[in-house]
Amino acid sequence: MSDASRRRDGVDGAGSGGDQSADARVGTAEDVLATFELLPAATVCLRGPDHVVVAANAAYRAAMGKEEMIGLPISEAVPELAGQMAFEMVDRVWRTGRPEVQREWRIEVYDPVGAPSEIFVDFTGTPYAGASGEREGIIFEAHVVTERVRRREAEAREAQARRELVAAREVVTSLQLAMLPAGLPALPAVDLAAGYIVAEVDAAAGGDWFDAVPLGEGRVAVVVGDVVGHGVEASAVMGGLRAVLAAALMSTGDLTDALRQLDRYALTVPGAHAATVCVAVIDPGSTRVSYCTAGHPPPLLVSRRGATFAPGSGAAPLATGGHLPVAQLDLEPGSALVLYSDGLVERPEHHPAEAATDLAHVAGTAFRGETPGSAHARLAQRLCTMPLELLLRETGHVDDVTILAAHRLERSVPDVDVVLPATPAAIQDARLETAVLIGSNDLSHSSAMAFHHAVSELVANAVEHAYADRADRSHPGEVRLRACLTDDGTLRAVVSDHGRWRVREPEHRGLGLSLVEQLAHRLTIEHGDTGRRGTTVTVEVPARRDVHLSTAAGPPPPHLPGSGELSLSVHDGERGGSARATRVVVAGPVDLLGAERLRSALLGAAAGPYDIVLDLAEVTLLTSRAVQVIAELSATPVTGPRIWVNAPAGSPAAHVLDLVHLPVQRLPTP
């Protein structure tokens, strides 16, 4: 208090003989002390090397939980600061004479009843000098920022929790998608499509599933099921149910027997209790469809007459001991059957009956193609994408949603059966013929690429070799191509000629046939013995359609493999990084004739002074002859320009180069 008195006396003395208005502006010592006491920053003044507390405002006393500390060294006033590096910092400021700033320093303090707590402070320690100019003490000004730190920590914990939930969701979703079919079979008489979206609740995926199982002779079983629960466990149970049902359907071909096998299996799996499933077997040779709704919502029948729900078959959920009766319905050509999970009719803020009415209305609209931009999409695809887009857009969904549509076609795409002259032009003609078959069936890119490539290789092989020994070049011979989509969902092509089969040693077998063997599911070659002419090569590739696992209609389909015209351009001396290179850009199909054009372009580029970048990013078909050209020119000569190949991952060119393990220098994929 004596220091305060001296400060007060000094202020009063300075104002006693002066202007009263100046005194009013300066204020009294009491005013200064009151203002100090009300400062929001916790402030303490220490004097001397022992750091005696000479002033501490209310904010500081409250932060420390102490009222009596004036006249005490700071180490005695707040002894709980020992071991928290606070006293060491005070000594450092006194010793160096330099201010020190700290941010969000954690300090453990005690409240008036002795309960410990922690606070976080931003503070500045500043040395001050006395009247003599010598260092007299230190002023510490602190702002308690505990709330700010707590808020940031809470936000960090919340963000970490979100990241963990997203990671868990991604794991479950990836597992779920890995157990669902990557595509659906393409069949000549029944068009199939499906859609699947994950529940909006974090880590909720895992219960829904769908499948389509060809049963031979055009028959197909379509399935949508739902496992109780979510997460990894539900995904594992779902995968087992799907595999058992598919195997049972393929082995027996009978829906009732397959359901009994599935129910017996479900009884052995705890997580399969009360799982539901809807299965329908469609036979294009009959209008009757057999179906079972084992605790599952009934299928929706969509036709020109509208959309109506089939009655339930009366079957109980799996593993509950109930019966599994099978019902019948009529599916006329041109009509469609829609199977779905309950997530589509149990939407937030919608009664299931109302949601079911909405589904029927949207399905009828999709059947008629009344939504702008949808008329040209396949009916089965419209019946899947439009309900997902229109019904879930406003309400969202709390459960997985799965939908599968089966459209019974009124007519199938006609088979291909053409006879072509055995000239290089036949390769492109064969591609054009099979393009209709592939495009009309809306096949997946991988199926289309494999089939197109296989047909091109087989026709090219016949053109090059079948009639090579014919003396009369004015009659090049003929190549016959027959192609079709089989009842079990297989693309089959048969290429035959009347020429001579040239027997080769296995190690000299043509690259083209080796490529076809890797691209195809099955390859058979039939030819006569010595002295007989004629070769027939049959190739089969699984015909699949992509499944769009989202609410969108999916990305635009890629260019049909082998479609378009060959485009080839050479750009001399383009700068790439620190070096120059001649870029040979190729786009479109590189078949037998295209390979010779490629050879000429590369030879011309090799005459220049620069290395060559062969850009195959836009190539839609890379035949074995083109691969041979690249291999030959890449290997010669050692001192000449090098050829670098740009074939981005996932491109048709990259796929072929990876299959044949061509030892060329590939540009790294960005």
The per-residue pLDDT for 100 is 92
pLDDT in tens, 107-116: 887 766 667 7
The per-residue pLDDT for 26 is 61
The per-residue pLDDT for 559 is 45
- Region 273-285: what's the mean pLDDT? 94
CB atoms within 10 A of CB 425: 14
Cα separation of the two ends of the chain: 75
Instruction: Please state the φ and ψ torsions of residue 211, each to the nearest 5 degrees.
Output: -165, 160
Residue 531 confidence (pLDDT) above 50:
no
Tokens found for residue 125: 């320690």
CA distance 281 to 289: 6
Residue 140 confidence (pLDDT) above 70:
yes
- Region 257-261: what's the mean pLDDT? 96
Percent of the chain with pLDDT over 70: 82
**pLDDT bracket for residue 225 (50, 70, 90):** very high
Residue 25 confidence (pLDDT) above 70:
no
The per-residue pLDDT for 549 is 60
The per-residue pLDDT for 554 is 39
pLDDT in tens, 69-98: 899 999 998 888 888 888 998 999 999 999
Tokens found for residue 374: 């949808």
Using the structure block, give the residue that is written with the tokens 């969902």.
489
The per-residue pLDDT for 495 is 94
- Region 164-168: what's the mean pLDDT? 69
- Region 649-667: what's the mean pLDDT? 79
Average predicted confidence (pLDDT) for the chain: 82
Tokens found for residue 652: 């048709």
Q: Please report which residue ranges of 17-85 form alpha helices under DSSP H.
A: 20-26, 29-38, 58-64, 74-77
Percent of the chain with pLDDT over 90: 36
The per-residue pLDDT for 148 is 92
Higher-confidence position of 109 and 424: 424
- Region 152-165: what's the mean pLDDT? 84
CA distance 446 to 623: 16
pLDDT in tens, 349-360: 778 888 899 999
- Region 630-650: what's the mean pLDDT? 77
The per-residue pLDDT for 312 is 94
Q: Do the beta carbons of residue 151 and residue 171 sit within 8 Å? A: no
- Region 172-192: what's the mean pLDDT? 79
What is the enclosing helix (H) or strand (E) of 589?
strand 579-590
- Region 29-45: what's the mean pLDDT? 86
Residue 31 confidence (pLDDT) above 70:
yes
* pTM for the predicted model, two decimal places: 0.67
Domain 179-408 - what CATH class?
Answer: alpha beta
Spell out the domain ranges in the chain: 39-144, 179-408, 416-546, 567-666
| Bridge pairing between strands 579-590 and 611-622 | parallel
**pLDDT bracket for residue 176 (50, 70, 90):** low
- Region 581-594: what's the mean pLDDT? 87
The per-residue pLDDT for 392 is 77
Residue 13 confidence (pLDDT) above 60:
no
Q: What angle do the packed helices 624-634 and 592-606 form, to 10 degrees?
A: 20
Tell me the one-letter amino acid at 169: R
* CATH fourth-level superfamily of 567-666: STAS domain (3.30.750.24)
The per-residue pLDDT for 542 is 92
| Most confident residue range from 27-36, 158-167, 337-346 | 337-346
Residue 229 confidence (pLDDT) above 80:
no
* CATH fourth-level superfamily of 39-144: PAS domain (3.30.450.20)
**pLDDT bracket for residue 503 (50, 70, 90):** low
The per-residue pLDDT for 300 is 97
Instruction: Please state which of the ranges 181-195, 207-221, 552-566 shows the lowest mean pLDDT.
Output: 552-566
Which candidate, 587, 657, 588, places its Cα nearest to that of 629? Answer: 657
The per-residue pLDDT for 290 is 97
pLDDT in tens, 59-68: 888 888 888 8
Q: What angle do the packed helices 379-395 and 352-368 form, to 10 degrees?
A: 140
Higher-confidence position of 560 and 419: 419
Residue 378 confidence (pLDDT) above 90:
no
The per-residue pLDDT for 184 is 92
Question: How many CA atoms does the CB half-sphere of 191 hold within 13 Å?
Answer: 23
The per-residue pLDDT for 637 is 56
DSSP state letters, 207-237: SEEEEEEEEETTEEEEEEEE-SS-HHHHHHH
Residue 348 confidence (pLDDT) above 70:
yes
Residue 670 confidence (pLDDT) above 60:
no
CATH of domain 416-546: 3.30.565.10
pLDDT in tens, 287-302: 999 999 999 999 999 9
Tokens found for residue 464: 């090059």
The maximal CA–CA distance of the chain, rounded, in angstroms, is 138
- What angle is formed at CA 128 by the lines to CA 124 and CA 133, rounded to 5 degrees? 160
Higher-confidence position of 29 and 530: 29
User: At a CB cut-off of 8 Å and minimum separation 6, what does 290 contact?
Assistant: 255, 280, 281, 326, 327, 328
- Region 635-654: what's the mean pLDDT? 77
**pLDDT bracket for residue 339 (50, 70, 90):** very high
- Region 5-9: what's the mean pLDDT? 40
